Chains A and B, each alone.
Chain A
Amino acid sequence: MKAVKDVVCPFCGSLCDDIEVVLDQNKIIEVRNACNLGAVKIAGNEGGKRILQPLIKKEGKFQPVSYDEAAEKAAEILLNSDYPIFYGFGSTEAEAHKESIKLAEEVGAIWDHCPSVCHGPSIMGIQEVGLAGCTLGEIRNRSDLIIYLGCNPMEAHPRHMSRYTTFPRGYFREKGFQERTVVVIDIRYTETAKLANHFLQIEPDGDFEFISALRAIVNGRELKRESVSGIPIEKIKHLADLMKKAKHGIVFFGLGLATTKGKHRNVDAALSLVRDLNDYTKFYIMPLRGHYNVTGAQNVITWIAGYPFAVSLARGYPQYNPGEFSMANVFAEKEVDAAVIVASDPVGNSPRRVMDHFAKIPVISLDPYETPTTRLAEVVFPVTISGVESEGTAYRMDSVPIRLRKVKNGPKGILSDYQVLKKISKKYIQLKKRKVKDEIIS
């Protein structure tokens, strides 16, 4: 038996890097320090359906093939499509992101990732206003006011409060939670709200109005209203006071802000509020990112193409327009005619209209496990679990890159996302050259 220390958890955007994994030979028998979600991700669920051989669908049934045959089929699909999309990437390493963008450029495809069904409006807000950002380490050591706005980390990022924000003792917060105030603003009295010092229950779709009122009060205006978005004005005044008096404040926001009515304008308002607060004290803001490397995918596409998501490479140069090129849109509008899905399950995670189109076009899926997407796919590549069976780089929600560790060997003969994408690339380039040659001859 051996224990591997300082393992990075590849589940959520918190990327906890203090996990200990106990192994007996190549079998994980215990995962220490992780939350329920992290432990399950690292050790696997009982009955988890791993895919152990590349598959191609023939007459509606999957048939096992070799990686080379599957890569050839995938390359053929891409070569024969007019408007393909590459999508997913939230749960794989940055090296796979890079390789996939290279291939998407070669193919002339759309390249998009999880913000398309998640924090897209947040990114658009950040592009307009800018982000007063800091690291989770700074928050742990300095923050005395933590605000969770439209998010529920106790369910989505279970160690967020205990490791980074609320409960840990920090360099300047030696008494831990006793020196910190937590405020939760939500439409429900969530598990996170139950741990807060103050809970403000907001009406659905009331975010923009509430933040605007709060911003006005922070800037010294008087409001002639008794309540805004269901929150009494006295409570809003109290929050404004708490914010201005804080030594180091942080606002975390989730989809409760970004995907409700107003969308990127809500985020715009929250970012502007934090910008205003910096006239009085140090205040920061950060989106709570779901999958562990969605921030990485955003960073990689931005440093390659200049845009954060929903990028079309169809014209040979990058174009950015979320309303036109986002996965959710091109599927709902039935525009794309082939898809490469890496480390994601858009069939399970997207609206019905998107699912419908997935069932109608050839899909190439790379996933360690069986999902609704692999079920609808025409070519399925099994892969190793990044951060458990293969290493790579991931970016934490505060954009700090952390190297994922390999804890154990993957199933025999199974390749990583990066290696599979490289194989498809090679095949695609070969086939394309052959096609060009054939066209010249004929």
Chain B
Amino acid sequence: MEEINHSLEVFLTSGRTIEQGITLVGIKISEEAKKATAVCYLDPNDMEKLDLIENSNIKIKTSEGEIVVSARFSKDAPHEGIVFMPLGIYANWITPPGSAGIGVPQYKGIKAIISPTKEKISSVEELINKLTKSETNDTEIT
């Protein structure tokens, strides 16, 4: 199968979900946490634009870096151009620390580019390992 090249500019917003809330209790480093938080909810029209089906892997890119997560049809549509991720290490991986001079990160309305990918989704464990092993973090920050 050919790699699909097209991408979509969106506003990324993050927030709570019940599934994410449940994983806060003792299972933050688990397959369940990955299932609950390594996801991104898209408007059905945006899914169609990128030829995505439920649970296709997508790459989300922001000024902070990129992460691969699973695409889902949003239950809260219509919200074309806005994508939603549950709070957690995956959403935070690409969240900027905020620029309003008040020391609070920018969790909502982050400019992002989404594209379909064949890359696999990292586990929470793998993300933590990246943090401990990465000595080149400084150069990744733009």
Contact = CB atoms under 8 A, between A and B. Distances in A.
Interface of A: 11, 36-37, 40-41, 44-45, 47-50, 115-118, 120-121, 124, 152, 155-156, 158, 187-191, 193, 201, 204-205, 255-256, 259-261, 263-264, 290, 310, 322-329, 332, 345, 347-356, 358-359, 368-372, 375-376
Nearest to B108: A260
Contacts of A261: 109
Contact of B102 (A45, A264, A348, A351): A264
A435 to B, nearest CB: 31
Nearest to A258: B104
B26 A49 contact: yes
Contacts of A372: 28-29, 89, 124, 127-128
A263 B99 CA distance: 11
Contacts of B128: 347, 372, 375-376
Given A259-B107, A352-B94, 10 more contacts: A37-B21, A37-B22, A44-B26, A124-B102, A158-B18, A188-B76, A189-B79, A354-B97, A369-B26, A371-B29
Interface string B14-58: 011110011111111110100000000000000000000000000
A314 to B, nearest CB: 16
A37 B131 contact: no
A376 B132 contact: yes
A326 B134 contact: no
A121 B27 contact: no
A369 B95 contact: no
B137 A329 contact: no
Interface stretch (B1-9, B80-88, B113-121): B80-88
Nearest to B23: A45
Chain A CB within 10 A, most for which of B11, B76, B93, B106: B76
Which 9 A/B pairs are nearest by Cβ-Cβ distance?
Answer: A48-B26, A326-B103, A329-B103, A332-B97, A188-B76, A156-B16, A369-B26, A351-B95, A359-B131
Nearest to A332: B97
A357 B23 CA distance: 24
A180 B58 CA distance: 42
10 contacts: A116-B103, A117-B104, A187-B13, A191-B76, A204-B82, A255-B107, A348-B89, A352-B64, A368-B26, A372-B127
A115 B98 CA distance: 14
Contact of A263 (B25, B30, B102): B102
B25 A189 contact: no
Contacts of A353: 64, 96-97, 141
Contacts of B82: 187-188, 204
A189 B82 CA distance: 12
B78 A189 contact: yes
Contacts of B106: 259
B92 to A, nearest CB: 6
A153 B16 CA distance: 9
A370 B28 contact: yes
B27 A156 contact: no
B104 A116 contact: yes
Contact of A351 (B24, B26, B97): B97
Contacts of A121: 100, 102, 104
Chain A CB within 10 A, most for which of B16, B64, B88: B16
A350 B14 CA distance: 12
Given A259-B105, A351-B95, A355-B92, A155 B18 contact: yes
B30 A47 contact: yes
A323 B22 contact: no
Contact of B16 (A155, A259, A327): A155
Chain B CB within 10 A, most for which of A120, A355, A358: A355
Chain A CB within 10 A, most for which of B32, B78, B82, B98: B98
Contacts of B95: 351-352
B65 A352 contact: yes
A369 B128 CA distance: 16
Contacts of B76: 188-191, 193
B25 A44 contact: yes
Contacts of B134: 356, 359
Contacts of A324: 103
A40 B78 contact: no
Nearest to B125: A375
A85 to B, nearest CB: 12
A202 B79 CA distance: 10
B103 A328 contact: yes
Contacts of A117: 104-105
Given A189-B79, A322-B102, A332-B97, A359 B132 contact: yes
B92 A348 contact: yes
A259 B97 CA distance: 11
Contacts of B105: 117, 259, 328, 350-351, 354
B32 to A, nearest CB: 8
Nearest to A260: B108
Nearest to A50: B26
B84 A263 contact: no
Contacts of A369: 25-26, 28
Contacts of A263: 100, 102, 104
A178 to B, nearest CB: 26
B27 A259 contact: no
A50 to B, nearest CB: 7
